[in-house]
Structure 1
Amino acid sequence: MKTLFISLALIFCFSTYNEILAQPDSSDIPNTQKTWWKEAVIYQIYPRSFKDSDGDGVGDLKGIIEKLDYIESLGVNMVWLNPIYSSPNADNGYDISNYREIMDEFGNMEDFDLMLSEMHKRGIKFVMDVVVNHSSDEHRWFKESRKSRDNPYRDYYHWWPAEKGEPNYRYSLFDPKGEAWKYDSKTNAYYLHYFSQKQPDLNWENPKVRQEVYDIMKFWAEKGVDGFRLDAFQFVSKDTSFPPLPKGYEKDVIKYYGMGPNLHKYLKELNREVLSQYDVFAVSEGAGSTFEDAHSLVDADRNELQMAYHFKGMDVGNSLEGYKLSELKEVYTTWDSAFAKKGWLSIFLANHDVPRMVSKFGNDSPEFRAASSKMLNTFILTMRGTPYCYYGDELGMTNIGFDSISQYQDIVAKNGYEKTLNEGGDIEKYMAELKFLSRDNARTPMQWNDSEHAGFTTGTPWLPVNDNYKEVNVEAEDKDPNSCLNYFREMVNFRMENPVLVYGAYELLFPDHKQVYAYTRQMGDKKMLILLNFSKEESSIEIPSEMKELQLLKNNLPEVTKQGLDLTLAPYQALIFSYR
């Protein structure tokens, strides 16, 4: 039986990287060409969970507008919202029924226009989530498509006539039975859905579909949207003969499910039709299965996308046993090296599809939650690449840890539970893994204050609020100069003031140290040393003797012990030094 870990790896990471591949050749010119989206700090908001303005228990656009001063206070200069289009909500908005309308629960187009205008007044740019590998089965296109085989919209989706026999197996990431072909009796045919049955895959081989997508993106770009995040975009190009999958395909899902034969053709077309016509950037969810794949997507001379968003870091720690720091070092060092001279990376430890950052990579116990949250944010904000900071992580929000399947809202959790039952699997183990790894952990309501439901809503929240909201909330942390929130603000400002943290070269130190992640950032005569203790134990480290005139710039804790070149770091301590 596949464990939850394997399922989540397939669902969220979409990739298994070939570590023995040589890194791509690149220019000797350092990757320091200045661009606004490289210098951004992006704040990701899950709109259902940020702020409810009307008491229906669901966050909305007016709630975001209400909290724009707070977002501005963080120092971030870009916001990415998960989908806000009209949707039946089979997958919390990732099943879209109308790409030019706002979901009723979130508000209307006037609310959107006001939100965008108010963001821009504050110097905050906006990233739109674009979900065009699939639509909702309630989209007009699909409703027409399934009416008859000669309907003008039939070729907007992938259909397989039943008289040809059952199509070759394709795995569905969200289906309880794991089957991506769904039989539809009306036209005696199967349609393809890599995700839920309610999310049929669009047929990008049809130029009419591609033009529909470009027109949609132009619609939002004309409104003033500054960037696009392309959901599951690696999957849009498919071998439409759908040949049998080879044995062992599960080891490299992207190789057989994504990066299809025409993907780059479509991306160049997208760039030509949309991206090059506006001052926008685009990032695709996932980066292929090799470094070559990633570079082919985002290198400037490719004229495709601008930024890679790889999931290799999210592969680390997907089990109840935790992770080794060496794994994290290897991932981020290898990827930085591959993109040191060419291309650009996203840097993140959390999003809407993975557990809370501090619960997975830090320590969410009351003793260490704040320190480890600060340490992890130090990491994100001192690495090369564009940082993506997930809402609530600036407070140190933690996993909620549901005990019963009835508490979960996520389609993946529910279908996985049903699949485990159907296969006679270990349901106790599944629930233990789900409690730690579930996507719902990252989707609980934002904790604004210590009032009922943490000030998120006056009604009943769509997901329960974490019980620790009395201590972990914006109002309390805003008043505490030593809080996670105020440290986050300091670190965002520190990054903005120090271009070396954006463009500077990265070098890993002490790769075999089991507790401390140490690295330098250097650009010209600007040099910084970053020391991060990923452990609940004190840890000593010897600063290299060639580092002269050390000056402590940032410390997430009040104490630091220095004896000559020997440092003792407290549990989850983060230190930043300048040096010569």
Structure 2
Amino acid sequence: MQPSWWQTGVIYQIYPRSFLDTNGDGIGDLPGITKKLDYLQWLGVDILWLSPIFPSPMADFGYDISNYCDIDPLFGTLQELDVLVEQAHRRGLKLVLDFVPNHTSDEHPWFQESRSSRENEKRDWYIWHDPAPDGGPPNNWTSFFGGSAWELDAQTGQYYLHMFDVKQPDLNWHNPQVRQAMYDVLRFWLDRGIDGFRVDVLWLLMKDEQLRDNPINPDWRPGDLPEQRQFRLYNEDQPGVHAIVREMRSVLDTYGERVLIGEIYLPIERLVHYYGESLDEAHLPFNFQLFSLPGWEAAILRQVIDTYESLLPAGAWPNWVLSNHDRPRIATRIGKAQARVAQMLLLTLRGTPTCYYGDELGMENVLVPLEMIHDPQGKEYPALSRDHARTPMQWDTSANAGFSSSHVTPWLPVSEDYRTNNVSVSRKNIRSFLMFTRTLIELRRLLPALKLGSYQSIEQDNPSCFVYQRGYQKERYLVVLNLSDEKQVLSLTGKGRVLLTTYMDFEGTRDLAELYLRGNEGLLIEIL
């Protein structure tokens, strides 16, 4: 079968607030994305995924939506989105939107109706419940942002559920009217030419109808994430969620070749169930294992990747992610030198890779002063603020890194290294992180073995190195990654031609029986 575009393409996540500000308000916008389409086409990515751009009070920066079928004026207009879609498609780029079905804003008209009285026809669109006998919350469920997941509504005397901010009430997906209303939202955007959706917190949609207490995690300690206080046995990954995912998928399937991507933070053996028994659920349940490795070590990487490959259902397509808007950037987690090795890993593994904006430059987290923190999670727990990984894209050497005009203060501070680390400077340096990333993407497009081929890890004796083979028909390529900053030597077999190194200095034919690697070096080798 001919592979789909979402299998052969590279996804590029754009956090719109931080990409490019064209109207001088310090916040990125849709015209800014349109303006940079030529750059994205030059970089070689294929699929643009936009974090939320819908009307919102911005309590959680767009994940609290007050209207699912419009664009927040901060970002532009529906007409400007239409222009972005048309211009992206003209360049062969696909556009994927965030879909946030678990909760709305408390300012959404649906919730305004729902909370107006217990008798309102939309009361059951959200999860309401009487207080416990002592007057407290109905059960012990906690919010991902800390504290109880329940908020008492004084007017009606009942609590409503919010798994995130208090201004983000959870929808009741047991209600068929809610489901149909949300599927109509999908149709609204599909009718405008959108190519698919990344579904926010897909595994949380259904909750236990009996609202049973979650078991307490006895190993939780202060400083751990608040969501780890308990085992979320009754408010995540409920059996009924799979029927909902199949329904979403069926909506997309009526529009031809579209993609459904699920945000799912679950152990891998549970994650793979979201492909569906007949591969009729999410095309790509996001695989976040590279976020939570116990160490950046060859043996750990090999075990994680081999296990994932072995657990995939027959015919399921893998995917990999290194960074996103909720986690520290990869260059901050493992250092900038190893970030090049990680980029080679991401773009040569089997499956669809997702790149986070700025990672093509090796951008790192930026320290955001307390007074500038916007993230609700960060306000409660500054060390856990997600703002550090959401700072403005670094375009050039001008004020504010070219993200915004010089007389404006961007919504988050620009990295101090922007004058030396930006797109403009990097495009002129053949060995820059940017040019390395672009070359990797180009090789991925040109070589069927990288785009479509098989994966097999290779046994070898050096514990600092991870080696695997990609193959397609008669083509064979080795990826050799040194995960240390020390020189290493490997003993493999045969001869090979080095196509790319993380140092961007090409070396031609090598004897694989005695293969030397510099510290923090990755090699892509064609087996001769």
Tell me by how many angstroms 1:46 deviates.
0.4
Q: Match for 2:396 among 426, 445, 449?
A: 449
Q: Secondary structure of 1:69's match?
A: helix
Tell me by how many angstroms 1:163 deviates.
6.8
Q: Match for 1:133 among 68, 89, 102?
A: 102
CA contact (8 A) 1:336 1:384 kept: no
Query: For the residues of structure 2 that align with 1:401 and 1:327, how far apart are their CA atoms?
Result: 30
Residue in 1 that maps onto 2:221: none
Tell me by how many angstroms 1:174 deviates.
1.1
Residue in 2 that maps onto 1:528: 477
Q: 1:167 to 1:124 in 2, by over 3 A?
A: same
AA at the equivalent of 1:555: T
Superposition CA RMSD, Å: 2.2
CA contact (8 A) 2:127 2:160 kept: yes
Residue in 2 that maps onto 1:7: none
Residue in 2 that maps onto 1:189: 158
Structure 1 residue 123 corresponds to structure 2 residue 92: yes
AA at the equivalent of 1:455: G
Query: For the residues of structure 1 that align with 2:267 and 2:25, how far apart are their CA atoms?
Result: 42
Structure 1 residue 505 corresponds to structure 2 residue 454: yes
Structure 1 unaligned residues grouped into runs of 5+: 1-31, 418-433
Query: For the residues of structure 2 that align with 1:238 and 1:183, how far apart are their CA atoms?
Result: 19
> Bigger CA drift: 66-75 or 520-529?
520-529
Residue in 1 that maps onto 2:223: none
Q: 1:511 to 1:297 in 2, by over 3 A?
A: farther
- TM-score normalized by structure 2? 0.92
User: CA offsets, 1:269-290, max 9 Å, x none?
Assistant: 2223343443211011016445
Tell me by how many angstroms 1:315 deviates.
1.4
Query: For the residues of structure 1 that align with 2:62 and 2:460, how far apart are their CA atoms?
Result: 41
Q: 1:412 to 1:163 in 2, by over 3 A?
A: closer
Query: For the residues of structure 2 that align with 1:306 and 1:514, how far apart are their CA atoms?
Result: 35
Structure 1 residue 553 corresponds to structure 2 residue 499: yes
Structure 1 residue 416 corresponds to structure 2 residue 381: yes
Residue in 1 that maps onto 2:523: 575
Q: Match for 2:288 among 306, 311, 325?
A: 311
Query: For the residues of structure 2 that align with 1:564 and 1:329, how far apart are their CA atoms?
Result: 20
CA contact (8 A) 1:307 1:345 kept: yes
User: CA offsets, 1:64-103, max 9 Å, x none?
Assistant: 1111111111111110000000011111111101001101
Tell me by how many angstroms 1:229 deviates.
0.4
Q: Match for 1:108 among 74, 77, 82?
A: 77
Q: Match for 1:334 among 307, 313, 316?
A: 307
Tell me by how many angstroms 1:254 deviates.
5.5
User: CA offsets, 1:175-223, max 9 Å, x none?
Assistant: 3xx2101111110010001111111111000111000110000000000
Residue in 2 that maps onto 1:275: 253
Residue in 2 that maps onto 1:167: 138
Query: For the residues of structure 2 that align with 1:471 and 1:261, how far apart are their CA atoms?
Result: 51
Structure 1 residue 391 corresponds to structure 2 residue 365: no
Q: 1:564 to 1:210 in 2, by over 3 A?
A: closer
Q: Secondary structure of 1:522's match?
A: strand
Residue in 2 that maps onto 1:241: 210
After superposition, residues 469-508 of structure 1 pair within 5 angstroms as 469-508=418-457
Residue in 1 that maps onto 2:12: 43
- TM-score normalized by structure 1? 0.84
Q: Secondary structure of 2:361's match?
A: coil
> Bigger CA drift: 193-202 or 510-519?
510-519
Residue in 2 that maps onto 1:208: 177
Residue in 2 that maps onto 1:400: 366
User: CA offsets, 1:484-541, max 9 Å, x none?
Assistant: 1112111111101112113322122247744222111122211110011122221221
Query: For the residues of structure 1 that align with 2:66 and 2:439, how far apart are their CA atoms?
Result: 41
Structure 2 unaligned residues grouped into runs of 5+: 219-227
Residue in 2 that maps onto 1:80: 49
Query: For the residues of structure 2 that align with 1:347 and 1:180, how far apart are their CA atoms?
Result: 31
Q: Secondary structure of 1:197's match?
A: coil
User: CA offsets, 1:314-340, max 9 Å, x none?
Assistant: 1125xxxx6444333322221122227
Give the length in aligned residue pairs: 513
Higher relative contact order (CA 8 A, sep 6+): 1
Tell me by how many angstroms 1:119 deviates.
0.2
CA contact (8 A) 1:308 1:344 kept: no
User: CA offsets, 1:443-484, max 9 Å, x none?
Assistant: 010000111110100111000000000110010011111211
Residue in 2 that maps onto 1:217: 186
Q: Secondary structure of 1:394's match?
A: helix
